[in-house]
Each structure stands twice: as C-alpha cells, then as structure tokens.
Structure 1
Amino acid sequence: MDAIDKKILSLLGQNARIPLKKIAEQVFLSPPAVSARIERMESSGIITGYRVTVAQEKLGYHITAFVNVVLPPERQEDFYACVRSCPGVVECYHVAGAFSMLLKVCFPDTQQLDAFVARVQKFGKTQTQIVFSEVMGHREPGLE
C-alpha cells in the first residue's frame, strides 16, 4: 500500500459514495486506475465493506451506553447468543481487565436500557456508563 492508496482510503472513509472521477482528480490518476486500486484493496481484504452512518437520535435512539460485564467462560456462548439477538447492541468486545465483555448499546430511553441491563445481569456483574455527548465518532486507524 502506497501513499495514493492511503489517500483513496481516506477519501472513501469520508464518503464511501464519492465518485471515482472525484477520487481520480484528488490523487492525479485516471478513474480506471483508481477503480483498479480499489478492487485490489477489496480483494486483498484491506477494504472489507461499505457502511452507512446514521443519526441515531433521528431514528429514535436517544440513549447510548457502554455496558461492562464479568462473564464466566462457561456462559460465553449463551451470552453471545443473547447479545446477537438484541438489536440495541451495536458493538460487543471480549476485553482484558476487571470486566471480560464491553458492549456499546443504543436504546430509545433509559427504561429499555434498564431492561436490557437486567437481562445481561443474569450472566454476571455489570457496570453501565451512559454517554452524555460524543466528542469524536468512529474513525478508521491510519486514515488521515
């Protein structure tokens, strides 16, 4: 991967629907050359997909929280099935430290968050942090 590939990734990271012609103008290549580079990055697994970013609040999800869970190893598969079945869970990580799982969740209100936490507490101790504001949203590492 060279500097041109990184620039292409950066442009796609800002707007995955940017036309090839605009990318080509920014990196001083022809649109077919840009297309070939993108296809190469897709086939090599550097680009793994394209996603839409939504305004959660406009969809009625006003509460974002992080839920830490202490999960006994023997409950892992049941826990994974539980979080996969809940549309409010947007991210789930197995982590090191005092807690073994970290969930990012979004719900319309605190009552639904509370019901979810009660459901998860059946697996182990939890700690919940409600987000007041987002300082910086998701970004891919290494992209300018």
Structure 2
Amino acid sequence: MDDKDRQIISMLQNNGRLPLSRIADIIGFSVMGVKKRVEKLESKGLMHVRAMLNVEKLGINLAIIAMEMENAEAIENVVEKFKECPRVLRFFVTTGAYNLFAIVIAEDYHTLESMSLERCSLRNQKGIRRFEIYPVQDVFYSSFFDIGVIPKKTREDAPCGVFCGECTRYRAERCVGCPTTVYYRGVL
C-alpha cells in the first residue's frame, strides 16, 4: 500500500459511494487508474466497500459477550455454529481469562435477554465455563456497523439450528426471533 492507496481508502471510508471520477480528480489519477487501484486492493483482500447501518437510528442494541471456553476445539465449534448468525457481528479470540468475545445485536432488551438464556444463545453452547454479557450504553465516534440484512425471510430454522416457533419467549413476544426466519418480527 502506498500513499495513493491510503488516500483512496480514506476517501472511501468517509463515503463509500464517492464516484471514482471525484477520487481521480483529488489524487491526480485517471478514473481507470483509480478503478484499477480499487480492484487491486479488493482482490488482495485489503479493502472491501459495503453498506453499514446506523444502530442508533434503527434502535438496535449492541452487547459484548465475554466467554471463558474450555479449549480451542470448543472455540472452533462455537465460531462455526454461529458463523451465519446475523446477530453475531464479530468473534474475537484473546489470551486472557475470557478467551472468546463476541459483539452481538438485538432489537430490544427482551431479545438480548433471549440471546443469553435460550437454546439459540451463545451461553448454552458446549465448552463454555463462564459467560458474561455487557449491554453497550453509548457508542462513540460512529454508530454505523456492518450488520447483515436478510432481504427474504424464507428459513424455518435459524442458521444455528433452532426453531423460533417452538420458543416460549418468542411465543410470549419477548423475542423478535431470528432475522433469517419467517418468524422474524423486527426491523432488519
């Protein structure tokens, strides 16, 4: 990455829809030169441009979950099981007492509570010794997050294998369900 690449990345971070012609004018390249740089950065896996959502405007709650896992296999199993879960934004493996962290989203407090109590929760997975959930009160700098939106809700079961229609919390309207399923009643 050189200075021109950094300029391109910086401009796209500020506005992912900035026309390549405008970037070209600013850095003194042709449009084709900028296009090739962007394609090269993307093909090398150094950059990816995508839509992000404002959690504050959507009323989405964030939480950080700290888990002490028994071993590396338990970590791998949890990460694999939840890799398609739209509520888990990211997993982080660390070397501290809590060795797996997750950033998760929920539309309301009851759904967040379901994420720590029900069969679909991270807490109920094999290999977890300790589990703590920290609801995020304030977000600083930017409230835009990379949240997966599923345009068509066609699944009966959630990607983790749980069926929302059988959940007592869902039936009692204390959870909005999984955003991938036909049972979902949230904003995503």
Q: Do the two structures share a fold, i.e. TM-score over 0.5?
A: yes
1:80 and 2:79 are equivalent in the alignment? yes
Closer/same/farther in 2, CA of residues 109 and 53 from structure 1, 3 Å limit: same
CA RMSD of aligned residues (A): 2.2
1:35 and 2:41 are equivalent in the alignment? no
Deviations 1:60-88, CA, capped at 9 Å, x for gaps: 52x21101011112433432244335321
Mapped partners of 2:68, 2:79: distance in 1: 13
Deviation at 1:17, TM superposition (A): 1.7
- Normalization by structure 1: what TM-score? 0.82
1:17 and 2:17 are equivalent in the alignment? yes
Question: What is aligned with 1:133?
Answer: 138
**What is the count of residue pairs matched by the alignment?**
137
Deviations 1:26-55, CA, capped at 9 Å, x for gaps: 1012212211222222233322x2211112
Percent pairwise identity = 26
1:53 partner letter: M
Closer/same/farther in 2, CA of residues 72 and 132 from structure 1, 3 Å limit: same
What does 1:92-131 align with in structure 2 at a 5 Å threshold? 92-118=91-117, 119-122=121-124, 123-131=128-136
> For 2:64, which of 48, 51, 66 is the aligned residue?
66
Q: Which has the higher contact order (CA 8 A, sep 6+)?
A: 1
Closer/same/farther in 2, CA of residues 78 and 132 from structure 1, 3 Å limit: same
Q: Flag structure 1 segments of 5+ consecutive residues without an equivalent.
A: 140-144
Closer/same/farther in 2, CA of residues 52 and 121 from structure 1, 3 Å limit: same
Q: Flag structure 2 segments of 5+ consecutive residues without an equivalent.
A: 145-188
What does 1:48-67 align with in structure 2 at a 5 Å threshold? 49-61=48-60, 63-67=61-65
Structure 2 SS opposite 1:70 = strand
Deviation at 1:58, TM superposition (A): 4.4
